[in-house]
Amino acid sequence: MRLDDIKESALMAFDTLRANKLRSLLTILGVTVGVVTVIFMVSIIQGLNKAFAQQIEALGSNAIWATKFDPSFGHQPTSEEIHRKDLTLEDAEAIRNEAPSVLSVSPIHRKIAETVRYADKQSDTPIVIGATPYYEFTQSSFVDRGRFITDTDMRERSNICVLGIDLVKALFPYEDPIDKELKINGKPFKVVGVMEPLGTFLGQSRDNQVFIPITTFAKYYPGEQPFPEVVFVIIVRPKSRAYVKSAIDEMTDILRRRRRDATGAPSTFGISSQDALLDIYNQLTGATALVLTAISFVALMIGGIGVMNIMLVSVTERTKEIGIRKAVGATRLNILSQFLIEAVVLTAFGGVIGLVLGEVASLLTNKYSPLPAFVPMWAIVVGIGISAAVGIIFGLWPAWKAARLDPIEALRWE
């Protein structure tokens, strides 16, 4: 097909659109709705993905976590899991010494909802984290002012603490917290540093925490602690993203050996990574996307049937015109392509309107909701592509009908 044919067809198509504004609008509505659905839903899923990926990224670059629990998403720890023995500092030390893919290891012991007081102010929500000096580097989370926990603090089981920014705001609104003494669960601690703000994860602040030496933690919270308030976690930073998998394998071997897990029996601990979290998340959004794809498909089908209907009407109405075109030399292919292009212009036009509306909806979502919705480039291409495809699929039969008309009959048609 030559460019002139396409131009003639496109002109004819726009002409028809102009001549039947309302009808065209109603016809393309179905396609528009379909494309809006596709675009808007894609933008929301993309926004969710982006938000989640950002959150996970913020948890610490490439971090791997080991606990005595199965890390599966939505899994409630069983009583068997709760009664397993905790991971230990020695386990962490073994990983540090024996796993070649691992760059650094930071065991933490944490307790949620502890009471922290300073003068007349009190907070009951902070997480107390018993940490080692390796925490900063392993988690890529650093002290902002003052200092972090040192080896000396570890050795001496010092009563020092480093505050998250939320606690500074809650307890020291008007003064410098450094060197002040506060009470954690009634025990005196000296503030030696303040952490950089971390922001939120899935809507929850990550700065509502206070760090103490893990040895000091053991002093005040000895023995087996009740789940779920206290959890022992070994955080591992692999050499790079490429080492995540081998680091997990090495950790698994080391921990299975140390915990004497029988060969063939399941591990009595769980290891998770950002990738694993992302995988779980992607499975969830994948299911959502499938449902939305089905909805869009139905909308586009309805739109396509509307287009077919109107194209059939159009062919009948323009029988005479087809006769004229055939009389002056239009071949069947000419007529077929003209009506096909008209259908495609019609649906592509509906697709473009749908794209614009979808984009607007996405921008509004982005602006007025916490979701960073956005329309990726590929969705625009896919949106226009599928609307054009609807035009071709549903325009083919009417166009073929037009192409097959007998010129004599067509010219006689009034």
Partner 1 sequence: MSDVTLAAPPTPSALPEQPVSAHDANSLISMRDIWKTYEMGSEQVHALHGVSFDIPKGEYIAIIGPSGSGKSTLMNLIGCLDTPSKGEYWLNAKNVSLMDDDELARIRNQEVGFVFQTFNLLARATALHNVELPLIYGGIGSSQRHEMAKEALRAVDLSDRITHRPNELSGGQRQRVAIARALVNHPSILLADEPTGALDTHTSMEIMDLFERLHGEGNTIIVVTHEHDIAERAHRVISIRDGLIEKDEKIR
Residues making contact with partner 1 (CB under 8 A): 2, 4-5, 7-8, 15, 19, 320-321, 323-334, 407-408, 411
* Three-class DSSP category at 96: helix
Structure tokens at 121: 């102010």
CA 318/CA 324 separation, integer angstroms: 10
User: Vertex 170, ends 54 and 144: CA angle to 5°?
Assistant: 55
Shortest CB 19 distance to partner 1, Å:
6
In Å, the largest CA–CA distance within the chain is: 106
Question: 332 vs 401, which CB is nearer to partner 1?
Answer: 332
CA distances from 73 to 67, 137, 249, 281, 383 (A): 14, 27, 20, 9, 33
CB of 320 to partner 1, least distance (A): 7
**Closest distance between partner 1 and the C-beta of residue 14, in Å?**
11
Cβ proximity to partner 1, 19 vs 202, nearer residue: 19
**Residue 242 or 333 with smaller CB distance to partner 1:** 333
Q: In the complex with partner 1, which residue's Cβ is closer, 155 or 320?
A: 320
Q: Min. distance of Cβ 326 from partner 1 in angstroms?
A: 7
Min CB(17)–partner 1 separation in Å = 12
Q: SS3 for 143?
A: strand
Tokens of 353: 């309107």
Rounded Cα distance between 53 and 326, Å, is 59
CB of 332 to partner 1, least distance (A): 6
Complex with partner 1: residue 164 or 323, whichever CB lies closer: 323
Closer by beta carbon to partner 1, 150 or else 334 = 334
Give the span between the Cα atoms of 169 and 164, in whole angstroms: 9
Contact 173, 124 (CB under 8 A): no
β-strand partners of 127 = 209
- Helix locations, 234-273, DSSP H: 244-258
